[in-house]
Amino acid sequence: MTSGTNTASTTVYRVTGMTCGHCESAVTSELTALPGVTSVQAVAATGQVTVTATAPLDDEAVRAAVDEAGYELTGRV
């Protein structure tokens, strides 16, 4: 852990198409691969994906990762 200002950013996204734990894992895997992402929590039941990163993420990079997993990012919550 480094000292200094904590610039962590947490954003909640709405993702459509997730129906089960496998869906959650696929989305989590793709988003975790993005540079700076430290935590991902995908919940199929609500369609919400909470992403924590060391700095704010580019929405288009998040959208591309979700698309790669086979789902659709419809916006932020």
What is the C-alpha separation between 1 and 11, in angstroms, rounded?
Answer: 22
Task: Show the domains of the chain with their CATH numbers.
Answer: 9-76 (3.30.70.100)
pLDDT per position as a tens digit, 20-74: 999 999 999 999 999 999 999 999 999 999 999 999 999 999 999 999 999 999 9
19, 25 contact by CB (below 8 A): no
The torsion angles phi and psi of 76, rounded to 5 degrees, stand at: -95, 155
Contact 77, 19 (CB under 8 A): no
pTM for the structure as a whole: 0.90
Examine the pLDDT at 3 and tell me if it is beyond 90. Answer: no
